[in-house]
Amino acid sequence: MTVGLVVVCHSRPLGRAAAALASEMTQGRPVAISVAAGLDEGTFGTDAVAISEAMTAADDGDGVVVLMDLGSAVLSAETALELLDDEQRERVVLCPAPLVEGLVAAAVTAGTGGSREEVAAEALSGLAGKEAHFGTSAPAEAGDGSAVVRVLNPHGLHARPAARLVTEMRSFDAVVEVRNVTTGSGWVPASSLTRVTTLGALAGHELAVRASGAQARAAVEGFVRLAADAFGEVTEVLADPRERYVNHPTTGPALHRGASTSHHYRVSGGSLPEACGQAGIVDNSDVAGGSAKATGGAGDTERLLSGAPSSPGIAVGPAIRLHEQPLQIPDEPFQGTEAEQRRLDEALTAAHREIGQLSGDIFAAHVVLLEDAALLDDARAQIAQGLTAPRAWRAATDRAAGEFDALLDPYLRARAEDVRAVSTQVLRALLGVPPATVDGDGILLADDLTPAQAATLDPTRVAGVVLAKGSPTSHAAILLRTRGIPAVVGAGPVEAKVIALDGSTGEVVADPAPEVLADFHQRAERQKASRDNARANAAKPAVTTKGVTIHVGANIGSVEEARAAAENGADLAGLVRTEFLFLGRDEAPSEDEQVAVYRAIADALGGRPIILRTLDAGSDKPLPYLPAPQEANPFLGVRGIRHSLAHREMFAEQLRAIVRVARETPVSVMFPMITKVEELIEARRLLGDVPGLRVGMMVEVPAAALRASDFTPYVDFFSIGTNDLTQYTLAAERGNADLLALSSGLDPAVELLIQNVCRAAGEKTKVAVCGELAADEAVVPRLLAAGVQELSVAPALVPLTKQAVRAT
Amino acid sequence: MDATALTAWLREFARLVAENKDELTALDSAIGDGDHGVNMDRGLTAVVAALDAEPPETPSALFKKVGMTLISKVGGASGPLYGTAFLRMSAAADAELDGPGFAKVLRAGLDGVVARGKAAPGDKTMIDALAPAVDALDAAFASGAGLADAFSAASEAAARGREATVPLVARKGRASYLGERSAGHPDPGATSVTLLMRAAASTLGAAG
């Protein structure tokens, strides 16, 4: 396919020159560009008849895209359309892009075989480069009604920050519009959540905002402020994204980080016991197809199933079900536009009231959907066309959900579920169908749960949940975990009278035989006893059965976590992430401020040793005072020591602060992301020779692990960050739920690297592991066997890790 | 009104534009790109030449020829605007036009200008003269006036409409780039419309 182009402008030389410029871009692939410009060589003007002829000349049957300069060019091009026959007119797109930029972009796309719509869309985004160029250098020119900002949120503008944006922008008396400059999207109203999330704005993308109306300027300023604040997602930006999925203090062997109420929960593979081996996203068809199998010897009816472990804990009880009337839209006569609209408004108010009573970020996003201008306008338009309120609402929400379904980003695509959940809620109110109820006390079996259902289950009645469908990343799973209800999801259809489940392993037994039931009860007891025991012995040293003492430390990122570490019996702070001091502020912390915080951490730990890791910044968590260029892959970019060596003044200040604290209390320092020996030597040179200060390096990059012996002369200890070492060794992003099979557990390749580091370290250099594998009781013996002498885990996991050491 | 009478109208329009070419251009130089007089004169000269070469036999054919010539030869925005007006008039015109029939045809032309230019009354455009002229024509015929009175009323309404554009700030076309500075001058397009209606009064109005 080759779409033709038509240039319409006042000056013939200008038109010809623009066409020549664009032709250079098509790289030999001929694109028909017809010029209809000027009345003659020297007379400015446009000629509708000539334009219609140019449209015909450039059209090979694939149609044409017309680019115009201004004024009469636009009017004449429109007039020219009237001169074409209907069939040909259908194939002409008049594109409002700027002439030169638009023509160049259009020619490139036409040359690669793009459709008319694609060519026109590219032409429209032809200004993106220029806008980005000037936009970044002057992001918030006060006074004009526009600005360009960068998305700081690690997961982009997903539902929650988008909801915040929409809520804030609606509070201004202004018409505010946003577009994604990076992808070259069109403008969408900032008042519409569905439209804003279709921008597909990911971390690092640039958004342009423009506003008109009485408070236009205030709205733009508010937008810029909000963007700088990561649209209210401060804690997420503060957290080190590479550590985001590390276990976090909760009771027991928590599966997932504490920020589990957030939408972008990801499965943390390493902490799942090897035995469960279930991928995070469950393929329901497989599970449903054949996971139920008889267990040898047990009762006739017992069936053992497996699903994805979603919320830890053991639960046993009678199977109960949700009772829910189906939502069927009746065939009813249209009551008139006003009556139908009133029905819909009343249902929206009712749904609003119900959702408002639920706690959870997801529901804030749902409330915003209920107020979404685009969605409501669409429903209104459907009613105006004679659809009843339920049909209009379903049509509008189906369409909005469909738009999300079509997006490339899997996270945004999943927002279709939010739209469907809200759709159901409102339809229920419209049709007077009561919410689902549970018929008794026990283990709830369901196909899936809506977020609202998961949020309203009564934990005193529902001891556990088994879902046939869903994934551990669904809102329902997150809410169950937050609420401490043991759950297994993606288990396939289950029919049973009694259910036993282990939310830590994904094990589900339908109608267990008495001995199995007894086993579950015992396991529940043991789990409780083991936790109690671990807690009771938390403060005691962890000594292996062979009599070797292993120090178990805590990974911390705040003074508060330092206190939690002390309470949980940590022998030291094996990893102090100093990023929390540097992110989310306008200027770097001063030396004195750093000293005060490091001192407070040491105090909280009662004088136990602390290992400070120097700043591990990267372009995925940019420091406002050190603007970083956008990187295609921040995890392979300028981060850790690379970043520090590129910003030496700030690095030197941090080193000075560390040295000062080291004079008062046992402190070690280590450098992140060391790859080459030269980096380590340079970092040590900047640190200087400080008597008594132990110096180490993180081993996260496979290159460093492989060459450990080359680094040994320059360090007192190695600290192996297994999260990143696994990610980099297996080329598998840890946050990607589809790659759990690759990234969970201790991979043999990573084990070989750890063994190599221990061998190279020899007697004098200590080796520690500070990734989440250090808390995995199945992995601890293998780490100790390799020669690891120190473990560091999330504060809440210290007691259990010590127990694992004692069992080794 | 047949093709001959209407041809006389448009020839007179062409003559008036040629006579006032410099004034139109001067007006346009004050608030636009200074080409309205030249452009309209070029377009209407071409129209007269086309009518000389092959006199159309019906009002519809006449208006079509005028429209096509204007969209091709004027060059500026008044080309597609006047051109569209005449093309719509061509589509609306019957073989023989009485007064109300002509008013209906002229309103179709006005609708074409509005559709093409997306301007509204008060935007300081030719619509500010053409719309009151069409309204006056309708009103006159509705009250039983003859052609002479009706066209005279329309011509006066156009002139008043043009005067009313003087204090306005332009919101369309090249003049809109000037913003507030466009106030204090009459709109050139509205001025040429007064010539069109004056020509109608002296030809079509006199014929009745």
For residue A176, the domain's CATH number is: 3.30.1340.10
The residue among B72, B86, B114, B172 with the most chain A CBs within 10 A of its CB, best to mutate, is B72
Question: In A, residues 25-84, which contact B (CB 8 Å cutoff)?
Answer: 39, 43-50, 71-72, 75-76, 78-79, 82
Please indicate whether residue A487 or residue A734 has the higher confidence score (pLDDT): A487
Grade residue A621 by pLDDT with cuts at 50, 70 and 90. low
Distance of CA B65 to the CA centre of its chain: 15
State whether A75 and B39 contact (CB < 8 Å): no
Residue-level pLDDT at A366: 81
The CATH number covering residue A353 comes to 1.10.274.10
Residue-level pLDDT at A407: 64
| Angle at the Cα of A461 from the Cα atoms of A459 and A464, rounded to 5 degrees | 65
Split into its structural domains, chain A has a count of 5
Of A43, A44, A76, the CB nearest to B80: A76
State whether A49 and B72 contact (CB < 8 Å): yes
* Residue A739 reports pLDDT greater than 80: no
A796 phi, psi to nearest 5 deg: -70, -20
The answer to whether residue A299 sits within a structural domain is yes
ipTM exceeds 0.90, yes or no:
no
Compute the nearest-CA separation of A621 from chain B (Å). 44
Please indicate whether residue A179 or residue A405 has the higher confidence score (pLDDT): A179
Task: Tell me whether residue A330 is exposed, middle or buried, using C-beta atoms within 10 angstroms of its C-beta: 0 to 12, 13 to 18, 19 or more.
Answer: exposed
The answer to whether residue A259 sits within a structural domain is no
Same domain, A278 and A344: no
Same domain, A793 and A712: yes
State whether B73 and A39 contact (CB < 8 Å): yes
* Residue A37 reports pLDDT greater than 90: yes
State whether A46 and B35 contact (CB < 8 Å): no
Is-contact A487 A464, C-beta < 8 A? yes
State whether A39 and B116 contact (CB < 8 Å): no
Question: In B, residues 42-71, which contact A (CB 8 Å cutoff)?
Answer: 42, 68, 71
State whether B87 and A46 contact (CB < 8 Å): no
B88 contact A CB<8A: no
Characterize A415-435 residue by residue with b for buried, 16 or more Cβ atoms within 10 angstroms of its Cβ, and e for exposed: bbbbbbbbbbbbbbbbeeeeb
Same domain, A455 and A315: yes
Same domain, A228 and A376: no
What pLDDT, in 10s, does the model give residues A654-701? 999 999 999 989 999 999 999 999 999 999 999 998 988 999 999 999
State whether B71 and A47 contact (CB < 8 Å): yes
The CATH number covering residue A73 comes to 3.40.50.510
Provide the domain limits for residue A612.
Answer: 537-806
Closest-CA residue of B relative to A47 is B72
The residue among B71, B89, B90, B113 with the most chain A CBs within 10 A of its CB, best to mutate, is B71
The CA distance from A594 to A480, in Å, is 39
Of B42, B73, B77, the CB nearest to A72: B77
State whether A79 and B116 contact (CB < 8 Å): yes
Closest-CA residue of B relative to A43 is B75
The CATH number covering residue A645 comes to 3.20.20.60
Distance of CA A495 to the CA centre of its chain: 35
Question: Mind listing the domains of chain B with CATH numbers?
Answer: 3-207 (1.25.40.340)
Residue-level pLDDT at A734: 64
B116 contacts on A by Cβ (under 8 Å): 75, 78-79
Which residues of A are identified as catalytic?
A: 475, 770
Same domain, A208 and A73: no
Compute the nearest-CA separation of A233 from chain B (Å). 42
Same domain, A613 and A579: yes
Compute the nearest-CA separation of B35 from chain A (Å). 9
Residue ending a domain, among A528, A552, A583, is A528
* Average pLDDT value for residue range A165-179: 84
Of A43, A44, A75, the CB nearest to B117: A75
Residue-level pLDDT at A530: 81
The answer to whether residue A306 sits within a structural domain is yes
State whether A47 and B68 contact (CB < 8 Å): no
The answer to whether residue A298 sits within a structural domain is yes
Of A49, A50, A72, the CB nearest to B76: A72
Same domain, A647 and A524: no
B79 contact A CB<8A: yes
A44 contacts on B by Cβ (under 8 Å): 35, 75
- B172 has which bridge partners? none
Report how far apart, in Å, the C-alpha atoms of B96 and of each of A308, A367, A546 are. Answer: 83, 64, 116
The CA distance from A707 to A695, in Å, is 18
What pLDDT, in 10s, does the model give residues A281-293? 333 333 333 333 3
The CA distance from A80 to A362, in Å, is 51
* Residue A473 reports pLDDT greater than 70: no
The answer to whether residue A498 sits within a structural domain is yes
The CATH number covering residue A444 comes to 3.50.30.10
Of A43, A48, A82, the CB nearest to B79: A48
Residue ending a domain, among A184, A213, A238, is A238
Grade residue A806 by pLDDT with cuts at 50, 70 and 90. very high
The answer to whether residue A83 sits within a structural domain is yes
Compute the nearest-CA separation of A69 from chain B (Å). 12
State whether B80 and A39 contact (CB < 8 Å): no
Compute the nearest-CA separation of B116 from chain A (Å). 7
Sheet holding A188-189, edge to edge: A146-150, A206-212, A175-180, A188-189
Compute the nearest-CA separation of A207 from chain B (Å). 28
What pLDDT, in 10s, does the model give residues B143-189? 999 999 999 999 999 999 999 999 888 877 777 777 777 888 899 99
Grade residue A302 by pLDDT with cuts at 50, 70 and 90. confident
Residue-level pLDDT at A787: 94
- Lookup: tokens for B207: 């014929």
Same domain, A102 and A48: yes
Same domain, A608 and A692: yes
Residue ending a domain, among A196, A220, A238, is A238
The answer to whether residue A247 sits within a structural domain is no
* Residue A250 reports pLDDT greater than 50: no
Same domain, A406 and A475: no
Same domain, A161 and A67: no
B87 contacts on A by Cβ (under 8 Å): 82
Residue-level pLDDT at A495: 86
Same domain, A793 and A706: yes
B116 contact A CB<8A: yes
The answer to whether residue A225 sits within a structural domain is yes
Name the pairing type of β-strands A206-212 and A175-180. antiparallel
Residue-level pLDDT at A275: 29
